């Protein structure tokens, strides 16, 4: 059974940094592109970033380019999202997903990031 378990979501002040992790199991992690999708409170889904199987290619939405970094450790079957210079508009539940061909077939339960002073 595919399992994606996110962690690291907390309350953080604007301008600060934090790092999310996603532990994957039940599938060959290194064979799948992975992605982060977020959902602000009471809002819809919004793609954030995608990483290729090797980690050699990454893609970001414009509003997080230069501030967020997606990475992966295939030996540990873990996906990461380093978030710097956080803004109030980054407040959301962040979901870890499998992301091949821009399709999000499997999702975690999400981790809540709140950016507030």
User: Segment contacting other proteins (CB under 8 A): 18-26, 70-78, 83-91, 100-108?
Assistant: 100-108
- Contact characters 46-65, other proteins, x per CB under 8 A: xx-----------x-xx---
109 near other proteins (CB under 8 A): yes
**Contacting residues for 96 by C-beta, under 8 A, at least 6 apart:** 4, 5, 6, 20, 22, 24, 34, 35, 36, 79, 107, 108
Looking at the DSSP assignment, which residues form a beta bridge with residue 37? 47, 95
The residue ranges that bind other proteins (CB under 8 A) are: 4, 44-47, 59, 61-62, 95, 97, 101-109
């Amino acid at each position: 059974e595919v399992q994606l378990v996110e962690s690291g979501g907390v309350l953080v002040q604007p301008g600060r940094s934090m790092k999310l992790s996603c532990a994957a199991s039940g599938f060959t992690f290194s064979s799948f592109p992975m992605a982060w999708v977020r959902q602000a409170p009471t809002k819809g889904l919004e793609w954030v970033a995608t990483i290729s199987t090797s980690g050699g290619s990454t893609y970001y939405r414009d509003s997080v380019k230069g501030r967020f970094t997606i990475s992966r450790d295939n030996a540990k079957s873990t996906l990461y999202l380093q978030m710097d210079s956080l803004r109030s508009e980054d407040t959301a539940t962040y979901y870890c997903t499998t992301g091949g061909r821009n399709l999000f077939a499997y999702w975690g339960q999400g981790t809540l990031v709140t950016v507030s002073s």
